[in-house]
Amino acid sequence: MRLLILDESWQVTGGVDTVRRYLLPALAARTEKLVWACSIQNCLNRLENIDRTRIEIIDLYPPTQSWQGMIWAALRRLPDGWLPNGLQTSLSHSYLRKICRHNRLTHVFEICVHQKAFPRLDLPTAGIVHDLGFPDTTSAPIHEGYRDWLQYAQRVITDSSMTRSQLLTLDPSAHQRVEVLLLPAPPVTTVPEAENPWRRVEPVIFYPARATFHKGHDVLLAALARLTDDGVPFHCYLSGIGTDCLFSDEPSPEQSINDVRKLCLPYREKLRGRVTLLGRQPWPVIEQIYRAANVIAFPSRFEGFGLPLSEALSWGRPVIASQIDPLEEQVAFLQAGEQVRWFPTGDDAALAEKLREVLTNHQPFPPFSAALRARLAAWNWDAYASRLLDILSTAKIPA
């Protein structure tokens, strides 16, 4: 297979960056040729450590010195709707067709279908829909761009059954072409225990997530305030974009982060010295904090998938999580129920009680079984890439 990885949604970070980092090398090792079409400036600035062996990178917005090229590049950068009759999409697809012809590519895979028109490139095409937004399709209608994919794509992959069900509300007739493929966790690396600076005398709680309302940071902080009132020892690390602003006196310029900050500020004084707000951190630091943690909290109100759950389990760390469908699906798939405890979504009192049981050793989690560790190791990015290529190989353009 000679595969084009189409990465038009380079502005999407978080879990999608994790997919980029680990899926692309796994696919490159299993294909005759792999071309990654992305915004080089944006993607590679974030993923400087990605293994690019056997990956040919094509810039979706290449620099040019000719006046024709500069006009063309400027037109392709305009927001959707600025050019009439699909001219902007036509320009973009014309450029991609040239890439496909030049490299004799056989299949197309969009790494993040995110409100973009389907790329009509005359090749079997599939893409991943990671989620459809928050909180639900009744108050936030699904973007019409997804309907285009459901109509024309040979395969659409979703990270959870919930996302699949939501997507099919747009076009139920596409049900045979929409498949669920749960994401694996990043590979576990060896970190010298003696050199881990994140370990503490008190038990460590960790929650890695961008500071947005649906991630439930305010729920976790309310639960931690209850534990503080009860004298339960702990220290909590919060990492992710915007988390370093949650106790700040200065408003964040990003409104979604500022909305969360307003919910979290009331807990600042009570939790002073007990919570460390780290902001965005590189993956090696996240690995070390996972190693140092006694338990991972996952108070999210909504997830399209929820990578921290599988990450935590892969690092051998138990999880206390909101009881939402995508997280329950992961746990069932991995048969990891003994290492996850649930609490009702948004219920800080219930979360505090679950944390108290673990932190005081009143109801500790059992050791990770060898069978669970084997299941976690088996569902890795190599296995995911193999399954994805199997799906792509069955994708045919209708005659």
Q: Is 135 exposed, middle or buried (0-12, 13-18, 19+ CB in 10 A)?
A: exposed
Specify whether the CB–CB gap between 306 and 298 falls below 8 A.
yes
State yes or no: pLDDT of 63 exceeds 70.
Answer: no
- Of 142-146, 233-237, 306-310, the one with minimum mean pLDDT is 142-146
Which pLDDT does position 78 carry in this prediction?
A: 61
Model pLDDT for residues 272-317, shown as the tens digit of each residue: 999 999 999 988 899 999 999 999 999 999 999 999 999 999 999 9
The tokens of 266 are what?
A: 């009331």
Q: Is 249 exposed, middle or buried (0-12, 13-18, 19+ CB in 10 A)?
A: exposed
The CATH code that applies to domain 193-378 is: 3.40.50.2000
Which pLDDT does position 76 carry in this prediction?
A: 58
Which pLDDT does position 9 carry in this prediction?
A: 74
Model pLDDT for residues 357-380, shown as the tens digit of each residue: 999 999 999 999 999 999 999 999
Segment 242-262 shows an average pLDDT of 92
Which pLDDT does position 48 carry in this prediction?
A: 77
Confidence of residue 73 (pLDDT cuts 50, 70, 90): low
Q: Which residue has the higher pLDDT, 178 or 42?
A: 178
The fold of the 2-184+380-393 domain, in CATH, is Rossmann fold (3.40.50)
- Distance, in Å, from the CA atom of 272 to the CA atom of 346, rounded to the nearest integer, reads 23
Confidence of residue 350 (pLDDT cuts 50, 70, 90): very high
Neighbours of 104 (CB within 10 A): 9
User: Residue 28 gets which letter from DSSP?
Assistant: H
Segment 375-398 shows an average pLDDT of 93
The tokens of 389 are what?
A: 């290529």
State yes or no: pLDDT of 15 exceeds 90.
Answer: no
The most confident of the ranges 164-173, 187-196, 227-236 is 227-236
- Distance, in Å, from the CA atom of 156 to the CA atom of 146, rounded to the nearest integer, reads 10
State yes or no: pLDDT of 149 exceeds 70.
Answer: yes
- Of 52-61, 70-79, 187-196, 287-296, the one with minimum mean pLDDT is 70-79
- Of 67-76, 158-167, 224-233, the one with minimum mean pLDDT is 67-76
Specify whether the CB–CB gap between 295 and 313 falls below 8 A.
no
Specify whether the CB–CB gap between 315 and 337 falls below 8 A.
no
Q: Which residue has the higher pLDDT, 64 or 387?
A: 387
Segment 119-146 shows an average pLDDT of 78
Give the domain ranges of the chain: 2-184+380-393, 193-378
Closest CA to 217 of 297, 286, 294: 297
State yes or no: pLDDT of 194 exceeds 90.
Answer: no
Beta bridge partners of residue 110, listed in sequence order:
6, 127
| Average model confidence (pLDDT) across the chain | 88
Q: Is 264 exposed, middle or buried (0-12, 13-18, 19+ CB in 10 A)?
A: buried
Confidence of residue 24 (pLDDT cuts 50, 70, 90): very high
Confidence of residue 132 (pLDDT cuts 50, 70, 90): confident
Specify whether the CB–CB gap between 149 and 156 falls below 8 A.
yes
Which pLDDT does position 8 carry in this prediction?
A: 80
Q: Which residue has the higher pLDDT, 256 or 371?
A: 371
- Of 41-55, 69-83, 143-157, 319-333, the one with minimum mean pLDDT is 69-83
- Distance, in Å, from the CA atom of 399 to the CA atom of 389, rounded to the nearest integer, reads 22
- Distance, in Å, from the CA atom of 342 to the CA atom of 327, rounded to the nearest integer, reads 10
256: left (phi over 0), alpha (psi -120 to 50) or beta: alpha
The tokens of 20 are what?
A: 């980029």
Which pLDDT does position 360 carry in this prediction?
A: 94
Task: Taking each helix axis as running N to C, give the angle between helix 161-168 and helix 325-334, from 0 to 180 degrees, rounded to the nearest 10.
Answer: 130
In this chain, the answer to whether the domains covering 2-184+380-393 and 193-378 adopt an identical fold is yes
Beta strands 155-158 and 107-110, pairing class: unpaired
